[in-house]
Chains A and B, each alone.
Chain A
């Protein structure tokens, strides 16, 4: 596994908005992605009387607003942020489970965001997803054997029954589940074991890219370590690339090659993990880092943010963070900051950092 410190700053690509710089090592590129969810229901429900006239009234949740990211082959890009910041939506759009409102997603140079389910099939074999809740992501009516055979049968219709069975035994062993348990159902396993099975299902088709959406959040501390180790082993063994969604910064520090911090549907900072933890630049990242309960100090000394996350229905003007930011000025309230690449390999979307006053 390549570690943060080994990545030369020159390898960091600058995908500033507008420009379409593509780096040869990028496995997945997300360009100016936006996603809105309608809150207004169907056409008839949108009609309102206003001033004696019938008007069409629409409201949207702006889940993602112009996110650009690239994920390089072999790295683990962690996306962190609080609930409602759009991190899971990004993961789902990447996997084709949701379609974007605008923007592009390129996988290995090919655009995949507008493909039909049939056209996506070859990509589905190369990219797999692990979900947060292993109690919900395993079909309760299927045995583990059936659960693990299903993706193999779908993606390898030409495989013989023996070959499929051998492969299932192989993946079960690799995640530390006894292959003799294949006849059992999901509910007979503990949370940690279920998550292992979900990982086995993702690994069954030998993918090169895995999207993991909070894969350890639902697990206990001692089990979290086991599953995290398993994910790291799998990365080494199969040369995997991860898009890792989490809210746990301690996990990010341990696991991530690079980190993208999201707030209210935008990326506010992207940086190599070590750099981000040593010197967070964006005021939101700083607040987030200081909020982690640490074992060492006696007293919480976190940067207190005033107020709460604004609703993504009525986005604030300018920088989405300005209402809670202690350093906000007139420009922050007016102008949306863009993600600007800096010399040290980080990218920060903050007027204050850009102007050099932070």
Chain B
């Protein structure tokens, strides 16, 4: 059994205008030491998915259904007290903006010691030693001085290193990183990503990496999910999805990258923009922007407009698309004819 098993997660926000379904039928799993990427545009629900794992969604958001099983234990419906034994301890989180995550009025050491002593019965001195050790692990120069410094005295890259050190403090099984390098520069981003990857491998820590950057996902993760309008639309091994995306949205996303086009020529853009969650189209949420919502004869495919697509297995990947399903059926039919 996997370390983390999420099935049919359904998250809603009760707003004045009515209920908005931020996540629908989101299912995935993560093995020990595995690195999973969650990709999507803003509003696709990738951050909500990550926050839900630790029950960090605040009202008016709530989990309307589904289950999150971590190491055999069901996390949904746990009291805050019980959940706190898992949160920060066995699953820790790295947020996007390091300045927002660190407390500006506490020194770095104070924050690290506080975190350690909240979860373990150890003395301040012991906690300080562990903190120092973790700062060395994230390759911070002169860690002793850093412990007594405040967040504003450090650069963005340094702060994110500290955040990583704090995330590793209690030797977690899983780290959830929500856009950990978006606020940083390219060269710093590369260093931080390399560091995170190295530490996860060395300590056999699972990583859930949330990002919109396909380049980062392809370099760091083994498996990935692509999300669109609150649903997972494609999942599978990262290399396979990057090299041969099946869902038209994933294809569109890849083709829209500037590196995919001839310099100086128009990019292959996806027309339109992602629908708002409160006003989703009927059928496949992507169909108004999809080039395959019409069949080869230009006739609109009825299924795309009326039925929400189910997952189909295509090789090692799972894809939620009527067009892919139809193609697979056709292939199977042909194969059957050939054998008979």
Which A residues form the contact surface with B (CB < 8 A)? 1, 3-4, 82-83, 190, 192-193, 220-226, 228-229, 232-233, 247-251, 253-255, 273-274, 287-288, 290-295, 297-300, 302, 304-305, 308-309
Contacts and interface: CB of A to CB of B under 8 A. Distances in A.
B79 interface: no
Interface stretch (B23-31, B90-98, B166-174, B265-273): B265-273
A288 B219 contact: no
B186 A288 contact: yes
Given A228-B267, A293-B216, A253 B258 contact: yes
A293 B257 contact: no
Task: Give the most central of B193, B239, B256, B268: most A CB within 10 Å.
Answer: B256
A193 B276 CA distance: 14
A209 B268 CA distance: 26
Given A82-B186, A233-B266, A293-B190, 17 more contacts: A3-B263, A4-B263, A83-B185, A193-B273, A221-B212, A222-B256, A225-B258, A226-B271, A232-B266, A254-B259, A254-B261, A288-B187, A291-B189, A291-B190, A292-B186, A293-B193, A294-B215
B53 to A, nearest CB: 23
Contacts of B188: 82, 308
A225 B267 contact: yes
Interface string B233-269: 0000001001000000000111011110101101111
Task: Give the most central of B155, B212, B269: most A CB within 10 Å.
Answer: B269
A233 B219 CA distance: 33
A297 B158 CA distance: 27
Given A222-B41, A225-B270, A295-B214, A300 B190 contact: yes
A304 B258 contact: no
Contacts of B193: 293, 300
8 contacts: A3-B264, A82-B188, A220-B212, A220-B273, A223-B273, A293-B189, A300-B197, A305-B187
Contacts of B261: 254
Nearest to A252: B258
Contact of A308 (B157, B213, B215, B242): B157
Interface in B216-231: 216, 218-219
B42 interface: yes
Task: Give the most central of A4, A247, A253, A302: most B CB within 10 Å.
Answer: A302
B323 to A, nearest CB: 18
B220 to A, nearest CB: 8
B122 interface: no
B118 interface: no
A295 B215 contact: yes
A300 B219 contact: yes
Nearest to B271: A226
A275 to B, nearest CB: 12
Nearest to A257: B264
Q: List the 9 closest pairs (A to B, CB-CB), nearest first.
A: A293-B215, A254-B258, A225-B256, A82-B185, A291-B190, A220-B41, A225-B269, A225-B267, A222-B270
B275 to A, nearest CB: 11
B219 A297 contact: yes
B187 A82 contact: yes
A297 B220 CA distance: 11
A304 B191 CA distance: 7
A245 to B, nearest CB: 14
B194 interface: yes
A220 B273 CA distance: 9
A308 B252 CA distance: 36
Interface string B142-176: 00000000000001011000000000000000000
Contacts of A288: 186-187
Contact of A293 (B185, B213, B252): B213
Given A255-B258, A291-B186, A299 B219 contact: yes
Contacts of A302: 187, 190, 194
A249 B188 CA distance: 15
Contact of B239 (A1, A221, A255, A298): A298
Contacts of B158: 308
Contacts of A299: 219
A250 B186 CA distance: 12
A251 B157 CA distance: 24
Contacts of A308: 155, 157-158, 188
Contacts of B187: 82, 287-288, 291, 302, 305
Contacts of B259: 250, 253-254, 294-295
Given A222-B41, A247-B185, A254-B264, A295 B218 contact: yes
A188 to B, nearest CB: 12
A1 B185 contact: no
B288 to A, nearest CB: 13
B186 A225 contact: no
Contacts of A291: 186-187, 189-190
Task: Give the most central of B186, B252, B257: most A CB within 10 Å.
Answer: B186
A250 B258 contact: yes
Nearest to A82: B185
Contacts of A298: 219, 239
A300 B186 contact: no
Contacts of A249: 186
Nearest to A223: B273
Nearest to B39: A221
B218 A250 contact: no
A3 B264 CA distance: 7
Contacts of A220: 41-42, 212, 273-274
Contacts of B264: 1, 3-4, 254
A295 B213 CA distance: 10
B202 to A, nearest CB: 15
Contacts of B271: 226
